[in-house]
Structure 1
Amino acid sequence: MGSIALRSVEKWFGQTQVIKGIDLDIGDGEFVIFVGPSGCGKSTLLRMIAGLEDISRGTLTLDGRDVTAEPPSKRGLAMVFQSYALYPHMDVRANMGFSLKTAGRSKAEVAAKVDAAAKALRLQPFLDRRPKELSGGQRQRVAIGRSIVRDPVAFLFDEPLSNLDAALRVEMRYEIAKLHQTLKSTMIYVTHDQVEAMTLADRIVVLQGGVIEQVGSPKELYERPGNLFVAQFIGSPKMNVLPGTCAGGQFDIALGTSVPGPEGAAYLGIRPEDIEITAPGGGQMDGIVDVTEYLGADTYLIVETGAAEKITVRAPGGIDIRAGAEVGLGFPEARRHFFDADGRALRG
């Protein structure tokens, strides 16, 4: 079992409150990822679950057991950090089995658990090597294996891939996804990388300023963001947001353009890939392509419309539109998002 519940959890450092009344339930076997901008409290919240930071107010339960005041060693959790923290003088086998050895487990039990973890992480060929003989991705797998052998209630990951290059991050994302499928253990993962969050999580928790903005599956957060912050934080490039006013069921955008919209709407959001490129006059707005960014499969067009914000359009990589071209931009009705003056999503 590995269910985790937080109730009205707060964290204060002196007079500064950094976690502001978090309520969250994480189910047994669920993969939950905390995301948010720097300073939002995601790593602090993870460390509070681990017991590395005290909970100032509120309660934390593991499988229904109140562990708010218990030390990390009593919680049965395993944490994987950015730093591998491997013992350089020990080989992989000794590094992975060290915690069991110090706990007085038999040699046979230690060997069996290390072999099982090595098999799950495809580390068998490296068991006799020392950390300096391993790549960054292999070292991170050893650090994860060191946690697996303990049979923890849940795994806690604090930006474990941030020190790896792009190719290794892709490889390790696959390894962690497969590990979750194999172990079916509860995992809580902190990252600033949207790709990691969108590809790994069962649910994403979006934090800002010590509060939860929204919790949901990657699909829910992307397609139905609860507010303007989530709408622009989830997705790359971020959602285009155009200010305007709404009266009589018509939302008036800058430059005299209007589209049907709900009462109270103050912003229209449209994702870059949802914008249709048309001939000038064929969409809701015209503009001049300011910059083109060719990325292979995609080309991003940065379009100057004369409105307050430039509009980013995601187009197929082979599109032949260059800087200086005039284009029309269509906003399909089914793909429009509206928000009120406080940034709350308005559902049609």
Structure 2
Amino acid sequence: MGSIYLKSVEKWFGDTQVIKGIDLDIEDGELIIFVGPSGCGKSTLLRMIAGLEETSRGQILLDGNDVTHKVPSERELSMVFQSYALYPHLNVAENVGFALKTAGASKAEIDEKVSNAADILKLGDYLDRRPKDLSGGQRQRVAIGRAIVRKPKGFLFDEPLSNLDASLRVDMRFEIARLHKQLETTMVYVTHDQVEAMTLADRIVVLKDGVIMQVGTPRELYESPDNVFVAQFIGSPKMNLMSCADMTAFTRAPELKDGGVQLGIRPEHIGIVDAGSGHCDGVVQVSEYLGADFFHYIDCGPLGLLTVRTSGAMHDIEGQTVGLNFESDNLHMFGADDLAIR
């Protein structure tokens, strides 16, 4: 079991409040990801769950037991940091089994658990190597292996892939997803990379200024953002936003909802048509070819610069005047308070 419940959790550093009354239920076996801009409180919240930061107010419950004031070693959670923090003079097997050795486990127990972790993480061929002889991805797997052997109730990951290059990050995302399915253990994962969040998470927690802006599955956050912040934070390229006061720029205005102040639409939900035959016209300022996709940045006058995503099979239209057709079923409306109007 590894359910984690946060009840009105707050964190203060002196007179500055960085976590502002967070309530969150993490079910046993879930992979939950905290995302948000730098300084939003995601790593602080993770460290509070781990016991590395004191909780100023509120409760942290693990399987229904209050662990708010327990030290990290009493919480039965394992943490994997951004830095691998491996001992350079020890080989892989010794690094993975180090915590067991210091806890007084027998050699037979250590060997068995290290062997099991190595099988899970495909480290069997590297057990005799030192960290300096490993790639970044292999070192991170060793760090994860060190967490696995403790058989914790949950894993806490603090931006574990940020030190890896792009190719290794893709490989390690797969490894972590596979590991979660194999272990069926609760995982709480912090990242600033929304691609990691969208591809790994069962649910995503979007944070801003110490407050939860929305919690939901990747699909829920992408298709039904609760507010302007989530709408623009989740998705790359980000959602286009236009002021409803500028609707006169439309040749054929889409249907708006009462109280709407901003109209949002994702780049892939705008079609490019002949000038004069869409909802509005614009001039293509830049077209970025990415192989499978084109990203077109189109100046639509009062509506601003809109991003349109098309198939990479489309021909380059940079510098041309085109029409834009908005998919009516994929429009998002936001009120004066930046909240979505359903």
After TM superposition, the score normalised by the length of structure 1 is 0.97
Aligned partner (choices 280, 286, 292) of residue 285 of structure 1 = 280
Between the aligned partners of 2:288 and 2:45, the Cα distance in structure 1 is 37
Between the aligned partners of 1:89 and 1:95, the Cα distance in structure 2 is 9
Counterpart mapping for 1:91-106 below 5 A = 91-106=91-106
Is the 1:243–1:254 contact (alpha carbons within 8 Å) kept by the matching residues of 2?
A: no
Q: Does 1:275 align with 2:273?
A: no
1:10-40 superposed Cα distances (whole Å, 9 cap, x missing partner): 0000000000000000000000000000000
The residue number in structure 2 matching 1:301 is: 296
The residue number in structure 2 matching 1:164 is: 164
The alignment partner of 1:90 has SS state of coil
The alignment partner of 1:141 has SS state of helix
Task: Tell which deviates more after alignment, 319-328 or 26-35.
Answer: 319-328
Is the 1:244–1:267 contact (alpha carbons within 8 Å) kept by the matching residues of 2?
A: yes
The residue number in structure 2 matching 1:175 is: 175
Between the aligned partners of 1:52 and 1:44, the Cα distance in structure 2 is 9
Task: Tell which deviates more after alignment, 177-186 or 304-313.
Answer: 304-313
**Structure 1 runs not aligned, ≥5 long:** 246-251
The residue number in structure 2 matching 1:265 is: 260
Between the aligned partners of 2:248 and 2:133, the Cα distance in structure 1 is 60
Deviation beyond 3 Å, 4+ runs, structure 1: none
Shift of the alpha carbon at 1:322?
A: 2.6
1:226-276 superposed Cα distances (whole Å, 9 cap, x missing partner): 00100000000000000114xxxxxx6241552211110001100001101
Between the aligned partners of 2:262 and 2:135, the Cα distance in structure 1 is 48
The residue number in structure 1 matching 2:247 is: 253
Shift of the alpha carbon at 1:281?
A: 1.2
Between the aligned partners of 2:116 and 2:276, the Cα distance in structure 1 is 64
**Structure 2 runs not aligned, ≥5 long:** none
The residue number in structure 1 matching 2:335 is: 340
The residue number in structure 1 matching 2:320 is: 325
The alignment partner of 2:242 has SS state of strand
Between the aligned partners of 1:13 and 1:130, the Cα distance in structure 2 is 40
Between the aligned partners of 1:163 and 1:122, the Cα distance in structure 2 is 20
**Aligned letter for 1:312?**
T
Amino-acid identity (%): 65
After TM superposition, the score normalised by the length of structure 2 is 0.98
Change (3 A) 1:16 1:254: farther
The alignment partner of 1:259 has SS state of coil
Between the aligned partners of 2:254 and 2:283, the Cα distance in structure 1 is 21
1:123-180 superposed Cα distances (whole Å, 9 cap, x missing partner): 0000000000000000000000000000011000000000000000000000000000
**Aligned letter for 2:257?**
P
Is the 2:31–2:188 contact (alpha carbons within 8 Å) kept by the matching residues of 1?
A: yes
Shift of the alpha carbon at 1:318?
A: 2.0
Between the aligned partners of 1:254 and 1:311, the Cα distance in structure 2 is 16
Between the aligned partners of 1:283 and 1:48, the Cα distance in structure 2 is 52
The alignment partner of 1:329 has SS state of strand
Is the 2:254–2:326 contact (alpha carbons within 8 Å) kept by the matching residues of 1?
A: no
Q: How many aligned residue pairs are there?
A: 341
Between the aligned partners of 2:322 and 2:225, the Cα distance in structure 1 is 28
**Aligned letter for 2:317?**
R
Between the aligned partners of 1:253 and 1:120, the Cα distance in structure 2 is 56
The residue number in structure 2 matching 1:248 is: none
Between the aligned partners of 2:83 and 2:29, the Cα distance in structure 1 is 25
